[in-house]
Structure 1
Amino acid sequence: MTLLNKIYARLRLIVDRDGRDYLVVRRLQLFDSEYYLSFFATPENTADPLLAYFLRWREWYKNNRFPGAARCQLPDPHPLFDTCYYLLNHFPHGLKRNPFAHYLVKGWKRGWAPSPYFDPETYRQRSSWDGRTGNPLSHYRDHGAPQAISPSPFFDAHWYLDRTPVLADAREWIIRHYKMYGAKDGRKSPLPVFDPSYYLQQTEDNEAARRDPLAHYVRLGEKNGQRPAELFDPRYYRQRYLRKKKHCSPLAHYLSHGVYLGHYPDERIASLSRKPRVSVLVPVYNADHRHLNTCIRSVLYQAYPYWELCLVDDCSTDTAIKTILADWEGRDQRIKVAYHKENTGISGATATAAEMATGEYLGFLDHDDALTPDCLYRMVQAVNETGAVVAYSDESLVGDDGSQLSVSHKPAFNRHLLLSHNYITHFVLIEAHYFRKIGGIGSGFDGAQDFDLMLRAAEAANHVAHVPRVLYHWRATESSSSVNHDTKPYAHDAGKRALAASLKRQGIDAEVVDNHLTFYYRITYKRKENPKVSVVIWREAEHHRAGITAEHLLGRAGYEPCEFLVVDQATENRGDESRSKTVLLDEAIRASSGEYIVLFGYGGSEISEGWLDVMAGTLFHDDNLGAVCGCVSWAGEDGPSYTVPDLDDRSSRYYAEALASMTRHLNGLHNPQLVRCCDWRCCLFEKSLYERLGGFDGHRYPQLLAMHDWSLRLMQTGKQILYTPYVTVTMEEREPFGDDAAAESGEKRRFQEHWQQMLRQGDPFYNTGVVLEQGIPEARFLDWLTGAG
């Protein structure tokens, strides 16, 4: 635009209505230049952004008399004025006058809302504005914003500030900050009940939706029946609760009334066959105020309404804690608060909370952590379906601002993994009657009271259910053991004592010793019997000179009596006869004289001291175990990770390796744990059990997958397989996978066909959430696993 044109434009503005409107907006000083210019990818080169805004509006209106959805692309002049929203709600057929000026001159006097984040009536109720002192946006700028007042049901300023504490100094500009930065993140929400990521999945590639998902939902999404979160169905909510309130927003009504009235946000919750009350127990002591508020809100906004929150202040020295708790108690009758006159520790405070509880189930929540909105619904659904008295979920570790740092994808209940460390942690739900039956919260285990509780619960429970969803956010702080394991050394010792007490209650003759990691423990079992063990060593034809010798194995076994049988492929297959690896091993096992069998694969150069003593001690003490396998190390390294297998590798040998390794890689190679597939390069099992199962199937699986097949047959009998990291075989080099031999490819195909159903049901100890986290569709993973793809 030339200088002459600029002068002409300004003169024209002065003499017509746009000119008068321009002067009104300038006088009120409500035009936000920085916010307006943020809408442009290339900064506008103008000395007067307000003038540019008016000119742009006039040109846009000239070309878009009936603009429809194009309105949503208009740059806005103020964080609390949404042009698209204003036009859609009040001028669906178009408005010739500049909409921002129209609002400031006429709209506010009619009680109209300028954006989803500013509702005049809500602001009137929460502030000193009464309409006699001018427009509400000016009043909000001068009075409401400095107090961080939320001027709309659709923006909870305190929720947003508590979740993003780094913005504490920007509280008076918090909505502006959200509009300019947080909304574009695609994950940050100004409401406990709005999930931006979920909502964006329902919209097409829409710039307006990506710029501010919640505003887009209020403008268009709710009218189209789109969900603001997985467990909020606006159509169902309107049908059930708002039949006579056609113009009332279901989400706004739920936030202001439905949450407190226990309304169902989704039909799936209403249709649950059984709806037990869940008492959430929260011990509180000198909690960070923001984290405590976030914790309480996470229960208040549960989609499942049958809960009570039992908070116990354990004599906090921070006097503000009592005020915060009393305020929350007054908001909802389901929130109960008790105050200790003396500090009793986390166990004592939790015990008091349990005494307050009237629910059929108890849940455990730390004062600086939070539940996801669907947590209680998913947990209740699980106990309804399984009848379990104990259930637990996956969890995420979050930063101070709520950003996700990592996710703990847990296996189905894994008793031996629990005996090495408390992998369950959060979120735990226990039937109240069962909780009291096992003695409630134990004393003397502060810092490890949750570990002690889980050990006692697992000892007597017939079934412990796992919900493979992230339902709990564990806060990572400098003083938290989730980040710094050195902050609570007493907790490690308490966990060690809790584990020792558990073994004693079960009559297990064993000792608990420290592992090399804090909060991890090792159990050494004491044997009372020494049955004969036959050690079968396999040597490949091309590697017949390599491998651990019988003398070396015997010298480091720490156990007797033993016999050693070396199966040398080259020696055994002389002449015209050629028998497979599986057949040769089967013959050796059946010809052995021991009650138990150890298998060793080729290529091992070293083995840990006392290896057989460890394996035998572990296997003999537990009648539920059918086999124990050790850890294979490659020249002292773990080798490639199979936590998430390479689905592009379809070779049979890679498949066999991944199938045997995925669970132990996911759940920690350093942890003893139950697995579904035994590794036949280092394993121990009872000979009679081997024979009862029919031994290896050398016909179907001559070379590669016989042990995998035998393992699955063993699991079907109810027996379990244990992996121990305390027996390590060191291999010098890895065997390259390469291209499939025709025979191996046939083995893989036969294995997948025979075990199709069991493979598709999934490995109970492998959580496919880790696959989804990498952006891999579960269907693709299952196709790789079952050979369907």
Structure 2
Amino acid sequence: MTVRSSRYIQKLRKLGQAWQERGTRGFLRFLYDRLKLRFRKHITYPQWVAQHRFTKADRIAAEQQIERWKRRPLFSVILPVYNVDERWLQQAIESVRKQVYPNWELCIADDASTRPTIKPLLLHYNKLDPRIKVVFRETNGNIVAASNSALELATGDYIALLDHDDELAIDALYENAKLINQHPDADFIYSDEDKIDANGRRSDPFFKPDWSPDYFHSCMYTCHLGVYRTSLVREIGGFRPGYDGSQDYDLVLRVVEKTKNIYHIPKILYHWRIISSSVTSGEYAKPWAYEAARRALTDMIARSPYPGWVEAGPRPGFYRIRRKILDYPLVSIVIPSAGTVAETVDGSRCLLEHCIQSIRDRTSYRNFEIVVVDGYDIPEPILNAIAGPDLRLVHCADPFNFAQRINLGVAAAQGDVVLLLNDDMEVLTPDWLESMLEFAQQTEVGAVGAKLFFSNGKIQHVGVMVLGGNPGHAFRNVDGDHPGYFLSNLVNRNYLAITAACLMMRRDLFLQLGGMDEAFPLNYNDVDLCLKAHQAGYRNVVTPYAQLIHYESASREPGLRPKEWQNLNQKWQAYFKTLGDNDPYYNPNLSHNEVLFEL
């Protein structure tokens, strides 16, 4: 047999395996994705911008749609001004005047600027357009005072925040009005954004996830364009003195405590100006803003039912919220295992024994029990090696079914919190249980996951995306120190699903959700569990501060079994449609071929 014919046979076998795993519909999607990936060209952001320009035809269609709307909300664009370069201020104002959607007012508060060109320019626009209101403050009070002065001028249904050197996209208010017509309950709306230089060149886009509370507690990711129901902003007292530089962050932290009607428009509707005086000019441009953000987060914790504190994150402008562990609950670590011995870089090793030893030796949180579920196949020497007062053994004589064995282990568990753990794991960070418990104890949280590495240091798991019905690990196989998209690999972040290789959940919630679906004996039982939690209104979160090595598939053969993909998609097809066939923690502008957050 020639090498060429051998490769041909291997390809046919792979195609046959894909058909068995996915069924006919899934196999056709698999072929489409593979072909799309082969011929896909990575595009640059300037190319993307050129493909997504707002055209004359778009404008005509938008104007026709506006005429048919039942609701035409008035937007009050809040614009605090202080000693800005005249050309940037003019461009900011013109970006509002050029809006496709006409029902707006521009509320400008000059904070006692000393530049002689600013007052005449503002008076000119005030006379030029009756929708432009201006107030001149007698004394300089900084951005909070100026923003509140502008807010006093507002008569609109919603306020939109604009910095004095930035620009709104031409369709910014139109897209917000469109969403409000679809969702009149909207209280807080945010969009994607990018940066723009002095020559009008756009760069550094931020394609954001839908509302992600734990990511928001890590950084002020919603930022621009932020649109808020005016009555709600006034109800909470507007912008608070003492939070200059992070007044928007503090505002949103208080807004989201009053409403769950939060919407995200996955479109670039705001352009930050890259100039030396802007926060976009570098990490250390405005250190007082980062300190103000820390105070705002500290206040948020004080208002919450979960006491804690704020720690610095991996870079300026990023934070880690810590929570005190309440009532020191017993954690039941449930490990299905056959006591497999595998070859590693360190030689032959019993994975289960090594896993349990790393738990016992490295874990700082001591209130745990270990529940090992086996099929009467763990060798006696290994049972003797792992025996201890913290370990109990549960037997199952049925053929291996991961979901079934997890369910049996949870049923036998005595803890209020369960941790599902593969036997091919090794603990790296001593406070891994505390880091996960901080989230699992919160009643709004469903599944909690950890950051897992392959034995070669590459990333195995920092969260699971479900794109087009295909679950995939974000940043799988990239370098372990890769920061991720806008530092998402280094801070707490919400995901739709989490691997059961290391998954924590309150035991009562696990049982409330019906446990793991035993119709998924090997794969997707964890995705199914997380989807059940998300559908029930809980949020799932991954913390990179809990870290373990995952010797993945060392204890069993990798790959899907027949119909597993098809069964998952049949079960969740209707729910996927309610999510718009998009993972809410990804972004539809990013590539669905690989979970690498690329265009």
TM range (shorter): 0.7 to 0.9
Matched, 1:613 2:419: no
Amino acid at match of 2:266: P
Partner of 2:142: 345
Structure 2 distance, partners of 1:723, 1:523, is: 13
CA contact (8 A) 2:460 2:473 kept: no
CA contact (8 A) 1:392 1:465 kept: yes
CA offsets 1:204-243 (integer angstroms, 9 cap, x no match): xxxxxxxxxxxxxxxxxxxxxxx6251235xxxxxxxxxx
Partner of 1:598: 419
- Secondary structure of 2:266's aligned partner: strand
- Secondary structure of 2:234's aligned partner: helix
Amino acid at match of 2:262: V
* Distance change in 2, residues 1:300/1:349 (3 Å): same
CA offsets 1:447-503 (integer angstroms, 9 cap, x no match): 111100110111111311111111111122233222301111111110000111111
* Distance change in 2, residues 1:329/1:601 (3 Å): same
* Distance change in 2, residues 1:479/1:542 (3 Å): farther
CA contact (8 A) 2:159 2:228 kept: yes
Superposition deviation, residue 640 in structure 1 = 7.6
- Which of 435, 440, 445 aligns to 1:625? It is 445
Partner of 1:709: 528
Structure 1 distance, partners of 2:113, 2:554, is: 61
Partner of 2:244: 446
* Distance change in 2, residues 1:344/1:658 (3 Å): closer
Superposition deviation, residue 271 in structure 1 = 1.5
Partner of 1:335: 132
For 1:213-228, list aligned pairs within 5 A.
228=56
- Which of 530, 533, 537 aligns to 2:335? It is 537
Structure 1 distance, partners of 2:285, 2:485, is: 26
CA contact (8 A) 1:383 1:465 kept: no
CA contact (8 A) 1:643 1:666 kept: no
Structure 1 distance, partners of 2:376, 2:121, is: 78
* Distance change in 2, residues 1:569/1:371 (3 Å): farther
CA offsets 1:718-774 (integer angstroms, 9 cap, x no match): 222222122111235787999845xx2421111112212223432222211112899
Structure 2 distance, partners of 1:187, 1:485, is: 24
CA offsets 1:74-111 (integer angstroms, 9 cap, x no match): xxxxxxxxxxxxxxxxxxxxxxxxxxxxxxxxxxxxxx
Structure 2 distance, partners of 1:379, 1:475, is: 22
- Which of 300, 304, 327 aligns to 2:97? It is 300
For 1:725-740, list aligned pairs within 5 A.
725-731=544-550, 740=559
* Distance change in 2, residues 1:510/1:646 (3 Å): closer
Superposition deviation, residue 510 in structure 1 = 0.6
CA contact (8 A) 2:492 2:544 kept: yes
Superposition deviation, residue 361 in structure 1 = 1.1
The TM-score normalised by the length of structure 1 is 0.61
For 1:323-402, list aligned pairs within 5 A.
323-386=120-183, 387-402=185-200
The TM-score normalised by the length of structure 2 is 0.79
Q: What RMSD in Å do the two structures reach over aligned CA positions? A: 3.6
Unaligned regions of 5+ residues in structure 1, if any? Answer: 1-185, 189-194, 202-226, 234-264, 782-789
Q: Which has the higher contact order (CA 8 A, sep 6+)?
A: 2
**Percent identity of the aligned residues?**
28
Structure 1 distance, partners of 2:545, 2:266, is: 29
Partner of 2:371: 565
Partner of 1:274: 71
Unaligned regions of 5+ residues in structure 2, if any? Answer: 1-44, 343-348, 380-394
Partner of 1:417: 215
CA contact (8 A) 2:337 2:372 kept: yes
Structure 2 distance, partners of 1:327, 1:643, is: 53
Q: Mean Cα displacement is larger for which, 607-616 or 440-449?
A: 607-616
Q: Mean Cα displacement is larger for which, 498-507 or 665-674?
A: 665-674
- Secondary structure of 2:241's aligned partner: coil
Structure 2 distance, partners of 1:279, 1:295, is: 15
Partner of 1:484: 282
Partner of 2:409: 588
Superposition deviation, residue 570 in structure 1 = 8.3
Amino acid at match of 1:457: V
Matched, 1:291 2:88: yes
Larger radius of gyration: 1
CA contact (8 A) 1:553 1:607 kept: no
Matched, 1:405 2:203: yes
Matched, 1:693 2:513: yes
Superposition deviation, residue 658 in structure 1 = 5.5
- Which of 549, 552, 565 aligns to 2:355? It is 549
Superposition deviation, residue 608 in structure 1 = 0.9
Q: Determine which structure has the larger strand proportion and give its number.
A: 2
* Distance change in 2, residues 1:687/1:330 (3 Å): same
Partner of 2:60: 232
CA offsets 1:395-441 (integer angstroms, 9 cap, x no match): 11222222221211111111121111101101111111111001101
Superposition deviation, residue 507 in structure 1 = 4.1
* Distance change in 2, residues 1:353/1:637 (3 Å): farther
Matched, 1:682 2:502: yes
CA offsets 1:11-48 (integer angstroms, 9 cap, x no match): xxxxxxxxxxxxxxxxxxxxxxxxxxxxxxxxxxxxxx
- Secondary structure of 1:337's aligned partner: strand
Amino acid at match of 2:294: K
Structure 2 distance, partners of 1:609, 1:460, is: 37
Structure 1 distance, partners of 2:153, 2:74, is: 13
Amino acid at match of 2:563: G
Partner of 1:755: 572
Partner of 1:461: 259
Partner of 1:95: none
Q: Where does structure 1 differ by over 6 angstroms across 4 or more consecutive aligned residues?
A: 573-576, 640-647, 659-662, 733-739
Amino acid at match of 1:334: R
Partner of 2:34: none
For 1:246-257, list aligned pairs within 5 A.
none
* Distance change in 2, residues 1:632/1:483 (3 Å): farther
* Distance change in 2, residues 1:666/1:704 (3 Å): farther
- Secondary structure of 1:768's aligned partner: coil
CA contact (8 A) 2:313 2:491 kept: no
* Distance change in 2, residues 1:401/1:539 (3 Å): farther
* Distance change in 2, residues 1:187/1:546 (3 Å): closer
Structure 1 distance, partners of 2:367, 2:182, is: 49
Q: How many residues matched?
A: 521
CA contact (8 A) 1:642 1:665 kept: no
- Secondary structure of 1:275's aligned partner: coil
Amino acid at match of 1:366: D
- Secondary structure of 2:281's aligned partner: coil
CA contact (8 A) 1:198 1:228 kept: no
Structure 2 distance, partners of 1:576, 1:499, is: 51
Partner of 1:43: none
Structure 1 distance, partners of 2:464, 2:168, is: 27
